[in-house]
């Protein structure tokens, strides 16, 4: 538990009065930041394929800010386009399967017809060969006729064999093409069933369901809105670990180190402090505003505990403790007033109230270190006409 070692006034009767104090002092600086979840997941409209169209209507959705568990159904998109495509593909599948069966029968018939024709040609070839052998001792003219007839039979046999080989390849290829058509349609049907499942969107983790703005309407998504594939529908932050994103002036960047203790206070609950540690410091500076010459750095604070009041997007003040000083004088910040670049204290000296210029050192959310020859317990007060200095 971080605490300030701050001693009261030396006299008992000053315990409720403003006075110069002396003791150990923890210096700090205060910056404004915003709460974020360490782990937050975007909920995207799933990409299910161009064949179903790019837009989907939201037909179901949990309320903005609902606590959800990993795997819970958080949104439902209209599957009408997918169901229409699925019905078309299922009908087409029946047609193409029938075409496949028809093609199998036709191919089988073609091959059988060619095989019958092959038997006829082979028989004729054998016959012509026997006739040629029989006419071996006939006249050259008769022998020449039989020779030509045999050559024609050989040509016919070669042609039918080549025809059968080509027809088998044609049948195989046409069958492959038809099977690929059927397989593609079956794949389309499986994809459509998978797409229907994806249109029921599940929470990626435990957290709070936070709707995103629609780019179509520039408003938070509502039931009945159209959205498109790949769009961010919502964000689910895990509130078990919270961090703060803040910035710091480049003049103070040397004061901030990772691991330093931080007290965080919500604007909505300023009396409920939370402890944290500086977890990361940005490496690059940038202009605070577009037309400003002031440079700032980002830095992150990791809170040590979670709490139901901590919600992403809430504004907080972050008091970063960067130095521990021993045996120094310090005063309540409300005792200081600043005129130009000089600070003043209104203190009691020899029973008179005087306005005393003072050099100040490190500060925190409540007190400031002062340098000079002071006496512990010197009474201070803040006249109404004074402009009260605010802590920096």
In order along its 392 residues, the chain shows pLDDT tens digits of 333 333 333 333 333 468 999 999 988 889 999 999 999 999 999 999 999 998 999 999 999 989 999 999 999 999 999 999 999 999 999 999 999 999 999 999 999 999 999 999 999 999 988 888 888 777 888 888 888 988 999 999 999 999 999 999 999 999 999 999 999 999 999 999 999 999 999 999 999 999 999 988 999 999 999 999 999 999 999 888 999 999 999 988 999 999 999 999 998 888 889 999 999 999 999 998 888 888 999 999 999 888 888 888 889 999 999 888 999 999 998 888 888 888 989 888 888 888 889 999 888 878 999 998 888 999 998 855 544 444 33
Q: Which fold has domain 12-37+237-380?
A: Elongation Factor Tu (Ef-tu); domain 3 (2.40.30)
CATH number for 46-76+199-230 (one of 2.40.50, 1.10.3470, 2.40.160, 2.60.40): it is: 2.40.50
pLDDT of residue 141: 86
pLDDT of residue 4: 38
Nearest by Cα to 182 from 246, 123, 96, 104: 96
pLDDT of residue 383: 57
Euclidean distance between CA atoms 145 and 124, whole angstroms: 15
Give residues with Cβ within 8 angstroms of 227, minimum separation 6: 45, 55, 56, 57, 58, 77, 214, 216, 221, 233
* Other Cβ atoms within 10 Å of 185 Cβ, number: 20
Same fold, 12-37+237-380 and 46-76+199-230: no
Euclidean distance between CA atoms 175 and 173, whole angstroms: 5
Domain residue limits, the chain: 12-37+237-380, 46-76+199-230, 83-196
**3-state SS assignment for residue 281:** strand
Residue with tokens 């037909």: 59
pLDDT of residue 386: 44
CA distances from 351 to 42, 334, 347, 377 (A): 67, 21, 10, 14
Task: For residue 234, list its beta bridge partners.
Answer: 43, 211
Q: Is 281 left (phi over 0), alpha (psi -120 to 50) or beta?
A: beta
Residue with tokens 């050989």: 154
pTM of the model: 0.64
pLDDT of residue 10: 37
Buried b (16+ CB within 10 A) or exposed e, 137-149: eeeeeeeeebeeb
């Amino acid at each position: 538990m971080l605490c300030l070692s701050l001693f009261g006034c030396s006299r008992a009767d000053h315990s409720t009065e403003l006075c110069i104090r002396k003791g150990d002092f923890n210096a700090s600086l205060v910056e404004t930041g915003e709460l974020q979840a360490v782990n937050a997941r975007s909920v995207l409209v799933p990409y299910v394929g161009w064949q179903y169209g790019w837009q989907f209507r939201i037909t179901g959705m949990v309320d903005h800010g609902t606590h959800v568990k990993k795997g819970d159904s958080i949104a439902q998109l209209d599957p009408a386009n997918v169901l229409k495509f699925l019905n078309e593909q299922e009908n087409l599948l029946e047609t193409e399967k029938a075409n496949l069966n028809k093609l199998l029968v036709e191919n089988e018939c073609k091959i059988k017809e060619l095989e019958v024709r092959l038997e006829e040609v082979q028989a004729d070839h054998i016959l012509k060969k026997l006739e040629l052998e029989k006419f071996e001792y006939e006249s050259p003219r008769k022998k020449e006729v039989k020779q030509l007839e045999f050559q024609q039979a050989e040509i016919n046999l070669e042609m039918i064999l080549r025809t059968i080989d080509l027809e088998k390849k044609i049948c195989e290829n046409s069958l492959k093409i038809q099977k690929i058509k059927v397989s593609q349609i079956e794949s389309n049907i499986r994809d459509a069933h998978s797409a229907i499942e994806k249109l029921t969107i599940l929470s990626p983790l435990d957290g709070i369901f936070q709707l995103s703005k629609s780019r179509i309407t520039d408003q938070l998504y509502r039931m009945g809105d159209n959205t498109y594939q790949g769009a961010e529908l919502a964000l689910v932050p895990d509130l078990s670990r919270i961090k703060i994103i803040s910035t710091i002036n480049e003049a103070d960047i040397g004061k901030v180190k990772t691991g330093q203790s931080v007290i965080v206070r919500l604007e909505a609950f300023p009396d409920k402090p939370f402890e944290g540690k500086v977890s990361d410091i940005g490496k690059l500076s940038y202009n605070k505003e577009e037309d400003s010459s002031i440079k700032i750095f980002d830095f992150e604070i990791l809170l040590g505990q979670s709490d139901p009041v901590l919600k992403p997007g809430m504004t907080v003040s972050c008091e970063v403790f960067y130095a521990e000083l021993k045996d120094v004088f310090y005063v309540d910040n409300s005792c200081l007033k600043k005129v130009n670049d000089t600070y003043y204290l209104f203190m009691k000296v020899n029973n008179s109230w005087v306005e005393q210029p003072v050099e100040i050192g490190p500060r925190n959310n409540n007190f400031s270190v002062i340098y000079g020859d002071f006496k512990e317990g010197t009474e201070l007060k803040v006249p109404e006409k004074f402009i009260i200095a605010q802590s920096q």
